[in-house]
Amino acid sequence: MSPVLRVAGLSKHFGGVRALDDVAFELAAGELLAMIGPNGAGKSTCFNLVNGQLAPDAGRIVVLGRDIAGLGPRQIWRLGVGRTFQITATFGSMTVAENVQLALISHRRGLWSPWTPAAGLERERALELLALVGMAEQAERACAVLAYGDLKRVELAVALANDPRLLLMDEPTAGMAPAERQALMALAARIARERGIGVLFTEHDMDVVFGHADRIMVLSRGRLIAAGAPAAVRTDPQVREIYLGADHA
């Protein structure tokens, strides 16, 4: 099967900093691929190149068979690339359902005519997505009053609104307690596997990474220094040096 994401020779520098240096990898449908590495390794840079927020200096990014060179974030999103966003204070006063409906309406606008309201349809679909992430009972609560772990589940529902084939999650569990982190990634993994969504994610908690990733890539100073199945990466001498060395976080 052709990969949902193919990256080759990807490089990006900021002034003298080589944030990403000749990185190549592929991601298959239904696969969970973790990108790990110390702070400043280039993980977010890689995510922002794939989602179109940054343009590469060199290299190719192919999403669902299409080279995304020159496309902006919205166009890439419409191709079927979802990403988790933090629901900020601006949207906190809206209900859980409204937040998801907003994402759905935004998606439909891109696909259909701008005067197709279909509000009822969007509400139904929003409730479906909320049921998928276990938040249906809290649909009418304001996002601002949710427990942090529940808010993260709403963010996942929002990320699924465009029916993505590729889902990008840059530190989706930031700020969560360990048990909640495991639960959120287990949920994301189940949905991804059921729907054949390829997931690229970063995560600081190694228990979460090794517990849920099918494959792991390790970045260090912009370069991929290891990639493979969790068992192989865990025993890689260079990886051990980075993670078990002096600056083990």
Output the residue with the shortest Cβ distance to Mg ion: 44
Selected range binding Mg ion among 40-48, 57-65, 146-154, 178-186, rule: CB under 5 A:
40-48
Give the tokens for residue 235. Answer: 């025993």
Selected range binding Mg ion among 35-43, 55-63, 80-88, 186-194, rule: CB under 5 A:
35-43
Comparing CB distances to ligand ADP, the nearer of 42 and 82 is: 42
From the list ligand ADP, Mg ion, none, partner contacted by residue 17 (C-beta under 5 to 8 A by kind): ligand ADP
Comparing CB distances to ligand ADP, the nearer of 37 and 164 is: 37
Comparing CB distances to ligand ADP, the nearer of 119 and 174 is: 174
Using CB under 5 A as the binding criterion, the count of chain residues that bind Mg ion stands at 2
User: Judged by CB under 5 A, does residue 173 bind Mg ion?
Assistant: no
For the CB of residue 14, give the shortest distance to Mg ion in the complex, in Å.
13
From the list ligand ADP, Mg ion, none, partner contacted by residue 220 (C-beta under 5 to 8 A by kind): none
For the CB of residue 205, give the shortest distance to Mg ion in the complex, in Å.
14
Backbone angles phi, psi at 127, to 5 degrees: -65, -35
User: Judged by CB under 5 A, does residue 220 bind Mg ion?
Assistant: no
User: Judged by CB under 5 A, does residue 44 bind Mg ion?
Assistant: yes
Comparing CB distances to ligand ADP, the nearer of 19 and 146 is: 19
**Which one-letter DSSP state was computed for residue 205?**
-
Sign of CA dihedral 200, 206, 212, 213: positive
User: Judged by CB under 5 A, does residue 11 bind Mg ion?
Assistant: no
The helix or strand, by DSSP H or E, that contains position 60, with its residue range, turns out to be strand 58-63
List, in sequence order, the alpha helices (H) in 87-205.
89-92, 96-111, 119-132, 148-159, 178-195
Angstrom distance (rounded) from CA 30 to CA 213: 11
For the CB of residue 61, give the shortest distance to ligand ADP in the complex, in Å.
15
**Which one-letter DSSP state was computed for residue 244?**
H
Cβ partners under 8 Å of residue 49, min gap 6: 10, 12, 20, 55, 56, 61
Whole-Å CA distances, 99 to 103, 121, 152, 180, 201: 7, 15, 12, 22, 23
For the CB of residue 44, give the shortest distance to ligand ADP in the complex, in Å.
3
Comparing CB distances to ligand ADP, the nearer of 85 and 112 is: 85
* Residue numbers at the binding site for ligand ADP (CB under 6 A): 14, 17, 19, 37, 39-45
From the list Mg ion, ligand ADP, none, partner contacted by residue 19 (C-beta under 5 to 8 A by kind): ligand ADP
CB 195 within 8 A of CB 110: no
**Parallel, antiparallel or unpaired: strands 66-67 and 58-63:** antiparallel
Cβ partners under 8 Å of residue 164, min gap 6: 80, 81, 82, 197
The residue ranges that bind Mg ion (CB under 5 A) are 43-44
